[in-house]
Amino acid sequence: MNQIAPNSYRTGPDEKGLFGIYGGRFVAETLMPLILDLQKAYDEAKADPTFQAELDGFLEHYVGRPSPLYFAERLTEHLGGAKIYFKREDLNHTGAHKINNVMGQILLARRMGKTRIIAETGAGQHGVATATACARFGLKCIVYMGEVDIERQKPNVFRMKLLGAEVVPALSGSRTLKDALNEALRDWVANVEDTFYCIGTVAGPHPYPEMVRDFQCIIGNETKKQMHRHEGRLPDSLIAAIGGGSNAMGLFHPFLDDPSVEIYGVEAAGSGVDTGKHAASITGGRPGVLHGNRTYILMDDDGQITEAHSISAGLDYPGIGPEHAWLNDTKRVSYVSATDKEALEAFQLCCQLEGIIPALEPSHALAHAMKLAPTKPKDHLMVICMSGRGDKDIFTVADHLGVKL
């Protein structure tokens, strides 16, 4: 995997959907014509100013963008190093970055004349965002969610139902996010005529990794402008948590060709990457093929997919988006990890110092910031993607702290 540093890190994927050796279109033949259709429709929409204008309108008035870039003053003081900013995706309508991508895909689905939307969800944030947009446009919505995740993300399950979505439990395998994805793919194969599959992260067959990235890039594009306004320059480092990698890619991508910016993707280390109970696909996995793309995946020596483990349902996935796999191999982005325990500590610290209850997913990014910030000088500008709010996680956290609600 010796690769020469490219001139630009922002030109991928190629016409086959590849980032280096990663990505591609590893799907059943039944889906192939649909994926080609989707690609065509997306390329047309991208080139159509009315599509972008419509999307911008919804992002401003419905989602509430731009989201603030907030100076976390007390956390900065506490850690005693880098000057820390939060990109406040938690303030978006529905409480996470997921809605940025969903608005884009749902507008595209409408353009394509699709009337039935399916989605997979782990933490339930993507499911809630999809259910929300479907309610807004009067589309039928079916969300697949692992049985285990339904149990640990109850508030979001109820929200989806209130919004009129049908939540279908995925009962196979580990009954978490990967199985929800399998079920969604199976649904799609059986309902090709009217159904649009709204994938929630930068994974899946081409063009999903590219399309979801493009819709999430608003995070990084806004951050760039806002940082200029606050500080008159680029940030020095970016940190984001990685499930499939969509909030991270959204923040990172606009900065990939700014070599002075250090970039960190934080995977979920669960009980620790050497315990076998984790969700760190790059740190603990290897290149393989799953869910339509080649990327780093957790598996055994026979190529069977192993179960991921994380306290955070949104990070509990044994793969990672293919562009991240490539950014790892080219060394443009550093992939690190944080354990359940570290994330819980960061979660509490953030509540206490900043009056912000973070989701467990970005708590992993915070945990890495707690390690990194003290090693940096005071004029080092660090941006953490606060990808979502933690209301959905209070039951899980209470459980771990031994509190009965």
Partner 1 sequence: MTTRIDQRFADLKKEGRAALVTFVTAGDPDYATSLEIIKGLPMAGADIIEFGMPFTDPMADGPAIQEAGLRALHAGQTLIKTLDLVRDFRKSDDRTPVVLMGYYNPIYIHGVERFLKDAKAAGVDGLIIVDLPPEEDEELCLPAIKAGLNFIRLATPTTDDKRAPTVLRNTSGFVYYVSVLGITGTKAPDLKSVEQNVTRLKGHTKLPIAVGFGVKTAEQARSIAKSADGVVVGSALVNAVKTSLKAGKATPETAKAVHRLVSEIAQGVRS
Ligand X SMILES: Cc1ncc(COP(=O)(O)O)c(C=O)c1O
Residue 387 makes contact with ligand X by CB under 6 A: yes
Site string for ligand X, 7-46 (x = CB under 6 A): ----------------------------------------
Among ligand X, partner 1, none, the one that 303 touches (CB under a kind-dependent 5 to 8 A) is partner 1
Is 165 a binding residue for ligand X by CB under 6 A? The answer is no
Establish whether 120 is a catalytic residue.
yes
3-state SS string over 259-323?
Answer: CCCEEEEEEEEECECCCCECCCHHHHCEEEEECEEEEEECECCCCCECCCCCCCHHHCCCCCCHH
Q: Which does 292 bind (CB under 5 to 8 A by kind): ligand X, partner 1, none?
A: partner 1
Single out the segment in contact with ligand X by CB under 6 A; choices: 37-45, 191-199, 326-334, 354-362: 354-362
Catalytic residue among 98, 178, 376, 392: 98
Q: For the CB of residue 28, give the shortest distance to partner 1 in the complex, in Å.
A: 5
| Residue type for position 122 | G
Pick 265 or 292: Cβ nearer partner 1:
292
Closer Cβ to partner 1, 303 or 374, answer by number: 303
| Residues near partner 1 (CB under 8 A) | 16, 24-34, 172-173, 178-179, 182, 185-186, 189-192, 286, 288-292, 294, 297, 299, 301-305
Question: Residue 241, interface with ligand X (CB under 6 A)?
Answer: yes
Under the binding rule (CB under 6 A), the answer on residue 242 touching ligand X is yes
- Do residues 309 and 297 touch, judged by C-beta distance below 8 A? no
The count of residues interacting with ligand X (CB under 6 A) is 21
Phi, psi dihedral angles at 5 (to 5 degrees) = -60, 125
Strands, DSSP E only, in 100-234? 116-121, 140-146, 166-170, 195-197
**Length of the chain in residues, anyone?**
405
Nearer Cβ to partner 1 (25/253): 25
Among 12, 13, 122, 318, binds ligand X (CB under 6 A): 122
Q: Which is nearer to ligand X, 83 or 178 (CB)?
A: 178
Among 87, 210, 387, 392, the active-site one is 387
246 carries an active-site annotation: no
Dihedral sign, Cα of residue 23, residue 27, residue 29, residue 31: negative
Contact flags string 300-329 toward ligand X, x per CB under 6 A: --------------xx--------------
CB of 233 to ligand X, least distance (A): 26
Distance, in Å, from the CA atom of 101 to the CA atom of 98, rounded to the nearest integer, reads 6
Whose CA is closest to 120, among 74, 191, 181, 34?
181
Number of neighbouring beta carbons within 10 Å of residue 192: 12
Distances (CA, A) of 242 to 80, 178, 235: 26, 15, 20
For the record, the structure tokens of 367 come out as 């945990």
Q: Are 127 and 151 in contact (CB under 8 A)?
A: no
Cβ contact 145:176 at 8 Å: no
67, 201, 295, 328: residue in contact with ligand X (rule CB under 6 A) = 201
Coil vs helix vs strand at 145: strand
Integer distance in angstroms from the first to the last C-alpha of the chain? 50
Residue 188 and residue 34 in contact, taking contact as beta carbons nearer than 8 Å: yes
Residues 95-114 that bind ligand X (CB under 6 A): 96
Whose Cβ is closer to ligand X: residue 226's or residue 247's? Answer: 247
Residue 209 preceded by cis peptide, ω within 30: no
Binding mask 245-274 for ligand X (x = CB under 6 A): xxxx--------------------------
Is 174 among the catalytic positions? no
- Residue 209 interacts with ligand X (CB under 6 A): yes or no: no
Burial of residue 106, with CB atoms counted within 10 A of its CB: 0-12 exposed, 13-18 middle, 19 or more buried: buried
Position closest to ligand X via CB: 388
Residues that bind ligand X (CB under 6 A): 96, 122-123, 125-126, 201, 241-248, 314-315, 359, 361-362, 387-388
Catalytic residue IDs: 98, 120, 387
